[in-house]
């Protein structure tokens, strides 16, 4: 029954045609989701009107993404689920979010560095879909979510103070659900490197389609 409901859920992936994004769209493991590819340059904003789940691929060109932001926010207002992956300047178009850049710790598991990432809200039901490996690998900056949103992973400073969120879930600001991260799983999954990126991508899609209190 779950698979039938998931197949009936419409899912769009907003992309810019990069090698990593096209490789992700061609991934046979994602075929059951029937991802609808929409190019930020050639697509039409009306294509998002009937979409249940919108995936905003990481690293889109800001000037091209700008043409889509109103439609993405409108989708949230009608109850859709939106996943926004890293390096998409969310502070410029997602209401109530602040973002700051941070140096990226790429290879902490090799160097022995403390990645300084800490999971939060351990009792939240979202953790039934995400393993630690999926959400702790690297990041591109920190976010300060709007009131009511739940930070799922925080970055801490070297002295242990909270620095900001790298993954949060907002189920309060709109009728829809918004999952935002500064991690870039489409790029790393499609490029074939970075432990955890594939797990994050797969887990996020599974969560978005299997836990549908406000979707489909």
Segment 97-128, tens digit of pLDDT: 999 999 888 888 888 889 999 999 999 999 99
Domains and CATH numbers, the chain: 2-210 (3.40.50.880)
Rounded mean pLDDT, 71-81: 97
**Would you place residue 5 in the very low, low, confident or very high pLDDT band (cuts 50, 70, 90)?**
very low
Looking at residue 38, what is its pLDDT?
Answer: 98
SS3 116: coil
* SS3 track for 150-172: EEEEEEECCCCCEEEEEEEEECC
- pLDDT for 215 equals 47
Distance CA 170, CA 148 (A): 7
Its pTM stands at 0.93
Mean per-residue pLDDT of the chain: 93
């Amino acid at each position: 029954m779950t698979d039938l409901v998931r197949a009936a859920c419409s899912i769009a992936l907003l992309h810019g045609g990069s090698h990593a994004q096209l490789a992700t769209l061609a991934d046979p493991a994602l075929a059951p989701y029937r991802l609808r590819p929409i190019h930020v340059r050639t697509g039409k904003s009306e294509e998002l009107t009937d979409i249940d789940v919108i995936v905003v691929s990481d690293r889109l060109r800001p000037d091209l993404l700008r043409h889509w932001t109103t439609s993405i926010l409108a989708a949230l207002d009608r109850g859709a689920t939106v996943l926004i992956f890293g390096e998409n300047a969310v502070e410029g178009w997602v209401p109530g979010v602040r973002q700051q850049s941070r140096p990226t710790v790429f290879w902490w598991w090799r160097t022995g560095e403390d990645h300084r990432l800490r999971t939060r809200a351990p009792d939240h039901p979202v953790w039934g879909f995400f393993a630690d490996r999926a959400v702790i690998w690297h990041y591109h900056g920190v976010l300060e979510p709007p009131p009511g949103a739940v930070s799922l992973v925080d970055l801490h400073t070297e002295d242990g103070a909270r620095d900001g969120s790298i993954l949060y879930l907002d189920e309060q600001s709109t009728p829809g659900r918004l999952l935002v991260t500064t991690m870039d799983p489409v790029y790393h999954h499609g490029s074939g490197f970075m432990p955890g990126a594939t797990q994050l991508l797969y887990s996020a899609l599974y969560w978005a389609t299997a836990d549908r209190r406000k979707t489909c």
